[in-house]
Structure 1
Amino acid sequence: MEFGLRDTVVLVTGASRGLGAAMAIALAEEGAHVVAAARSVGSLEEVAAQGHGRISTIEADMSDETSVAAVVPEVIARHGRIDGLINNAGIAPAGKFVDQDPQIWRDALAVNVVAPMLLAQAAGRHMIEQGGGRIVNIASTTGVRGKPHLVGYSTSKGAVVRMTEALAAEWARHNVQVNCIAPGAFVTEAQKAVTESADLHARRVAKIPAGRMADPGELVPLAALLVSPASPFTTGGVFVVDGGESGKL
């Protein structure tokens, strides 16, 4: 199936590694002009080198509202439009809730909720003016079902799910589709503590009906579909990709 992504312009945040890098590279392979945003310039350049000349980079700190505010205008300045936004950047501070400094939750909300809202608002203005666009928010299964020791993260990702649904309802009449993907356990750098420990890995996999963790590339087809013109009637959806874990009783 052709996604129709050739020569579309897509912004991907948190694109220096993991799921963001996999999505950025795959979208470029589909012919999109990808703008990859993250804090790590060196890692971004490594991703761009795999993009067949179709990935450009922006250094941006999602915890800094001034930095976030500059991203969409830069995309427009480079390409004259923005067709897709994948809000992927996020942080997941872990710890016992009773012991956590409230600033830790504020940081999680800043990166995981405020930054995606600001980017969606800025991109949405242009999408509405140009007659349409697609926004994909990357949440988490912890935003669908809470997880102990990840209270701030679970709360922030739950907010992303509700934001997705509300924006989808508000912008559907403007031909702007807004959807959400909630990944489960993927083999990324963020999961190194799990993947590098035989005991932790075995315990993690035991909770997944599919019997394994997923490769980042397994998220790519769904993300490509949702950020493409090929899904014009799909909006407000929350797509869980977790090997059946959250579907268990």
Structure 2
Amino acid sequence: MSSLNGKVAIVTGAGRGLGREMARALAGAGARVTVAARTATELDRFVAEQEAAGREALACPTDITDASAVERMTEATVQRFGRVDILVNNSGIVATTPLLEQEPDEWDRVLATNLRGVYLATRAVGRHFVAQKSGKVINIASNFALQGVANHAAYSASKAGVLAFTRSMAMEWARSGIQVNAIAPGYFATDLNAEMRADAETTEKVVRAIPARRMGEPREITPWLLLLAGPESDFMTGEHIVLDGGQTVR
């Protein structure tokens, strides 16, 4: 993959899990990275880690559902680094409530974080992309957008919306030199699901549903992220890459 030296990336939902791993991968490839999440502690730790390695990073605690906060995150990035080239929309929450028990507030909260947040960040950063006639938007969807999963109506609907948004924006911005693509991960072993993985019975049930008979490792998303962030994907837009060990093709 090409180096990302000179590029500037924003990663939302970067405090933990795949978001943090993706931010590390972009920084390791040479990009200066703004990390955003609701709380500052993990973001500050990431910045300290990068500075210790001689790299530049910026922590922006951000409520991704708040339009003004997202605008501030974007402008803080441009003010600090002078530009922005890559946006990774990774913020997301899960709800496992059966539909007849799910209150409208919970439904709205999932859709606000998982879909409204993608819209707000893409709009804010997209202004800069359109002006400079270049940019990479990488939306993190889910394989749940591609299959029926009981008790996940809000989550699945929100992630399916992310895929539809990806295709629409790819068409809208293609002539502006902007590529909009998505990654749809399945189960990956991260700190966010460590508690679940500590339960042998639950882990066995999850793994049994994956043809590869294991969860993904965070490092396995890195090559695809860097592909979509770099020039090798300049002729690729409106697509999604599924990384789930074959779960959606069972």
Work out whether the TM-score is over 0.5. Answer: yes
Greater mean deviation of Cα atoms: 8-17 or 183-192: 183-192
Shift of 1:68: 2.0
Judged with a 3 Å threshold, the aligned counterparts in structure 2 of structure 1 residues 141 and 28 are, in CA distance, closer, same or farther, namely same
Distance between the aligned counterparts of 1:246 and 1:107, measured in 2? 26
For 1:174, give the aligned amino acid: S
Say what the alpha-carbon RMSD is for the aligned residues.
1.2
Letter aligned with residue 248 of structure 2: S
1:112 lines up with 2:114 in the alignment: yes
Closer, same or farther in 2 for the Cα pair 1:78/1:47, shift >3 Å? same
- Of stretches 180-189 and 42-51 in structure 1, the one that deviates more from structure 2 is 42-51
> Which residue is equivalent to 2:247?
245
- What are the within-5 Å matches in structure 2 for residues 137-152 of structure 1? 137-152=139-154
Assess if the C-alpha contact under 8 Å between 2:64 and 2:121 holds in 1.
no
Seq. identity, % = 38
The CA deviation at 1:44 is: 1.0
Q: Secondary structure at the match of 2:232?
A: coil
Quote the offset at 1:224 in angstroms.
1.2
SS for the counterpart of 2:231 is: coil
1:49 aligns with 2:48: yes
Q: What is the 5 A alignment of 1:1-249?
A: 2-51=1-50, 52=53, 53-248=55-250
In the alignment, is the contact (CA less than 8 A) between 2:58 and 2:77 conserved in 1? no
Query: Do the aligned residues in 1 keep the contact of 2:134 with 2:178 (CA within 8 Å)?
Result: yes
CA deviation after TM superposition for structure 1 residue 154, in Å: 0.5
TM-score (norm 2): 0.95
- List runs of 5+ in structure 1 lacking aligned partners: none
Tell me the distance in 1 between the aligned counterparts of 2:146 and 2:76.
33
Query: What SS does structure 2 have at the residue aligned with 1:37?
Result: strand
C-alpha separation between the residues in 1 aligned to 2:227 and 2:43? Answer: 23
Equivalent residue of 1:162, what SS? helix
1:49, distance to aligned residue in structure 2 (A): 2.7
Cα deviation digits, residues 75-110 of structure 1 (max 9, x gap): 111112110000001011111110111110101111
Contact 1:31 1:54 in 2 (8 A): no
Counterpart CA distance in 2 for 1:69 and 1:105 is 25
Q: Which runs of 4+ in 1 moved over 4 A?
A: none
**Greater Cα offset, 239-248 or 44-53:** 44-53
CA contact (8 A) 2:16 2:192 kept: no
TM-score of the aligned structures, taking structure 1 as reference length: 0.96
Equivalent position SS for 2:180: strand
